[in-house]
Amino acid sequence: MDHTSAPDAEGTIETRGIEPVPDAERGGRVRELFPTWVAANISVLLLTMGAGLVVSNGLNFFQVLLVAILGPVVSYGIVGLLTIAGKRGGSPGMTLSRAVFGQRGNLFPGAVTWIARWGWETINAVTGAYAVLTILDLLFGIKSSTWLIIVTLLFFVGCTFTVSGMGRKVLLLCNRWSAYLFGAFSVAVLIYLIATTHWSQVFSRPGGSTAMLIAGVGTIAAGGISWAPSGADFSRYLPRNASGKGIVGATVSGAGIVVVPMVLMGAVMAVATPDLAHASDPVSFIGKLLPTWLSVPYLLIALIGMLLINSMSMYSAGFTAQTLGFKIPRAAAVSVNALISLVFGSLLMIVATSFISSFISFLTLLAVSFSAWIGVFGVDMLRRKEYDPVALMDTTRTSAYWYRGGFAWQAMTAWAAALVVGLCLTSVSWFSGPLAQTWVGRNGLGWAVTVVVAAALYAVLPRSTATPAPAAPATPATPAERPTAHSH
């Protein structure tokens, strides 16, 4: 059996691991998901991505607006739908995935998800460190150096580890206040841009091709797709009767209220500063485009947001590590990812030549790797109304989710086949699949095809049948219990 941690989750520091939350302890509210997904998107990287839609994709303002709306609606619509599994099963997403892939089979998508989290946390840590370096430069004239890069990374990762290690309640509190503060300062930046932008230049740009618009939607959606396996992590404390529509609505609106204006702001900034889309780092340009009185507080709030994004990612990564079989408390599991992001972040900041190129390449591969799981898990959700809490935690042959040798071969086949197809359609700076130059590949839709292939294949394959635990052998009756010839 898989006993991961104590069940008490009501204190300031969450001690519950991956075990299902009992109904009596499900005091969460659907409205808590709104600030959660607001905080999950507070990143200046969205400004850079918005600039890329103008500079690289050649889109005009209205096309960027359409991309900025469709991107989060598509991606966080998927995230919201899969988040419903959390209220049904009360466990993190990758733990619920045991019911789909089998106790052993789930180790494969689980390992891919965990490794992908390393990259996401590294990107966030680097962005946060760049924000600190930019603030130091703006306020004190302190220029970046190798030792300062290491110090800022240590600071950022240390803060991330502290917040994520404390768990759900602290994350909810931080998410709520960061949403308020970031919203207020974003409005201030928006007002400044409205007052200082040459709007004739913005609206006079010609439109780009439909293909580039579709590719832009794929790029923006890729970031949201990466949260799909984690949605249930933040809904497991919701009561079973929580509104599914409410969950989807809070997820999409929380993300969209940040993504849409941030992408548009990046697009507007890029008209006057085209090199924004190819900046050497994703943060320093803010100090050049905005006055110090506005750029410094905005960067400080954005820094808090990026810290929370990383905290949420590490929070989920801790659950994934436990699901993979690491017999350590969740907070200790988080420390593994903190150390990895520190090492990889140092390499990216000191050695890598282009942060933006590395980020886009990673985002593309991330979307494909998660999409195969999304297709299979999504179809299973349509078929399944509940999860067996005992079978989820029983990793032995007695588990109802053991299937055949610990594997649900139908789910594994669909997942692996879709993953191969998706990679064949993918092209990044250092890798190009054999089908990457097809229309689908060129337009960055490999992740979408991956979802469809995984879902379709899993839907047509024979359904996996849960195997009930074998009955305990009957205990021989004692002489006193044996019936006699005169008993009735």
Query: What domains appear along the chain, each with residue ranges and CATH number?
Result: 23-374 (1.10.4160.10)
Cα separation, 11 vs 308, whole angstroms: 20
* AA letter at 476: P
* pLDDT tens digits, one per residue of 354-396: 666 777 777 788 888 899 999 999 999 999 988 999 999 999 9
Q: Is 29 helix (H, G, I), strand (E, B) or coil?
A: coil
DSSP label of 474: P
Chain position carrying tokens 């995984």 = 454
Q: Give the list of residues 6+ apart from residue 145 with CB closer than 8 angstroms, or none.
A: none
Question: Please, which contacts does 466-474 make with residues 24 or more away whose CB atoms are closer than 8 Å?
Answer: 466/99, 466/388, 466/391, 466/400, 466/401, 466/403, 467/400, 467/402, 467/403, 468/400, 469/391, 469/394, 469/398, 469/399, 469/400, 470/398
What pLDDT is stored for residue 43 in this prediction? 81
Would you say residue 485 has pLDDT above 60? Answer: no
What pLDDT is stored for residue 165 in this prediction? 65
Contact in structure between 415 and 109 (CB atoms under 8 Å) = yes
Chain position carrying tokens 């204190």 = 11
What pLDDT is stored for residue 487 in this prediction? 36
What pLDDT is stored for residue 79 in this prediction? 96
* pLDDT tens digits, one per residue of 384-443: 988 999 999 999 999 999 999 999 999 999 999 999 999 999 888 778 899 999 988 888
Q: Spell out where 336-472 has E strands.
A: 427-428, 431-432
Cα separation, 281 vs 30, whole angstroms: 37
Contact in structure between 330 and 14 (CB atoms under 8 Å) = yes
Cα separation, 309 vs 45, whole angstroms: 12
Q: How confident is the model at residue 350 (pLDDT cuts 50, 70, 90)?
A: confident
Residues forming beta bridges with residue 428, ordered by sequence position: 431
Question: Helix 244-272 to helix 168-196 angle, to the nearest 10 degrees?
Answer: 40
Chain position carrying tokens 């594994």 = 412
Contact in structure between 371 and 448 (CB atoms under 8 Å) = yes
Write down the pTM of the prediction: 0.84
Name the token pair of 42. Answer: 């507070």
Start-to-end C-alpha separation, the chain: 42
Would you say residue 349 has pLDDT above 80? Answer: no
Chain position carrying tokens 């340009």 = 285
Contact in structure between 172 and 36 (CB atoms under 8 Å) = yes
Cα separation, 86 vs 256, whole angstroms: 22
